[in-house]
Amino acid sequence: MAYIIFTPNLQRHLSCPPLEVRGDTVHAVLEDAFAANPGLRRYILDDQGHLRKHVLVAVGGEIIADRINLSDPVAEGADVYVFQALSGG
């Protein structure tokens, strides 16, 4: 299992405590998180199923490379962080 953590700025919009999730890719881990909390999907993925432009995902401290298919590997016990970018000035 992996551990998915959502940054506080996302938690302001939606209740999303950290979760233990199953999966060996970012896609699988996110799908497991969405099964537990369906409201997360609309904040993280666009209507094409790709990461929204203002969202970053890091696995083991590294930003993922595949924002389209979310195929980056997730090792057993990895921490997966979901960041919602802030903008403005």
> How far is 61 from 67, CA to CA, in rounded Å?
16
Tell me if 87 sits within 8 A of 54, measured CB to CB: yes
Q: What is the chain's pLDDT, residue by residue, as a tens digit (89 residues)?
A: 999 999 887 777 777 889 999 999 999 999 999 999 998 899 899 999 999 998 999 999 999 999 999 999 999 999 999 998 766 55
**Domain 2-84 is of which CATH architecture?**
Roll (3.10)
pLDDT confidence of residue 7: 85
Which sequence spans correspond to the domains of the chain? 2-84
pTM over 0.85: yes
pLDDT confidence of residue 86: 65
